[in-house]
Amino acid sequence: MDKLIRILIVEDDMIIAANLSLQLTKLGYEVIGIVSRGEDAISNASQNKPDIILMDVNLKGAIDGIDAAIAIHVQNEIPIIYLTANNDDGTFSRAKETQPYAFISKPFNKLNLQRTIALVVEKIKDNGSLKQYSDQNNLEVLPDRIFVRHNGKMVKLLLDQILYIEAERNYCNIVTTLGKYLVVSTLKTIENELKDSCFIRVHRSFIVNICKLDIVADSHLEIDRKVIPISKSYKEFLLGRLHTI
């Protein structure tokens, strides 16, 4: 007999969550938990490693569903299906960057739920056992370029194109002359990989390409009109590097 697919529900509306749980159980899936906060979703996913997570995008609190999904993917590549009633383009773009397996719009119906999860289950079977998600498979560094995972593929970024890198919770935005690229990686990991180049940490949330600096002031930098703070602990090292250029 096939093992039941284990599903974690992350939804802060308990009526919707209970309905989802009931429908999933009737469809033959095992609901391993219902949580209402992003922090609890991260903890539950780490401990129980569900096969699929149904994730509400607009969770209440400091961490929304998208941030929770990113944090979960740092540890495990668990398929995410987003539940959303939000048609905002910005939210959709953020959610899409996390490479979800599907979206289910609210209010959902049983047939849509059944078909969506069935398709995701087939994808899981086709992929075989899911790999662990790590910084290393999202970032590859070569002497003059890096490759980052973007929209399901590895994209080349020349180091000379990168302006700065900004940390945002459990991921980083690499800002280039061509656009922004979101990667699941800590700023510390990127700093270690780029330590022999023109990239310098200037703040707990920023690494800058010193070849792209436009202005250096007492408490901030400017690159392409972006104002970036300088921490006192990094300022002396930065100024020392600038003197050698």
Per-residue pLDDT tens digits of the chain, which is 245 residues long: 457 899 999 999 999 999 999 999 999 999 999 999 999 999 999 999 999 999 999 998 888 999 999 888 877 889 999 998 866 777 888 888 788 888 998 888 888 899 999 988 887 776 554 433 344 455 677 888 888 876 556 788 999 999 999 987 657 889 999 888 887 777 888 888 887 678 999 998 999 999 999 999 989 999 999 999 999 888 888 888 886 55
What pLDDT is recorded for position 28?
92
d(CA 226, CA 168): 16
* Residue 49 backbone zone (phi > 0: left; psi -120 to 50: alpha; other: beta): left
Report the DSSP beta bridge partners of residue 55. Answer: 10, 82
d(CA 228, CA 18): 45
First to last CA, the chain: 67
d(CA 187, CA 114): 39
d(CA 161, CA 182): 15
Q: Are 82 and 105 in contact (CB under 8 A)?
A: no
Q: Are 54 and 11 in contact (CB under 8 A)?
A: yes
What pLDDT is recorded for position 142?
82
Q: Tell me, rounded to whole angstroms, the distance of Cα 109 from its chain centroid.
A: 28
d(CA 218, CA 56): 43
pTM: 0.55
Per DSSP (E only), the strands in 108-190 are 139-142, 145-150, 153-158, 162-168, 171-176, 180-183
What pLDDT is recorded for position 30?
94
What pLDDT is recorded for position 48?
93
d(CA 8, CA 51): 8
Domain locations along the chain:
6-127, 136-243
Q: Are 53 and 79 in contact (CB under 8 A)?
A: yes
What pLDDT is recorded for position 208?
96
Tell me, which fold does domain 136-243 have in CATH?
OB fold (Dihydrolipoamide Acetyltransferase, E2P) (2.40.50)
d(CA 140, CA 35): 35
Note the CATH number of domain 6-127: 3.40.50.2300
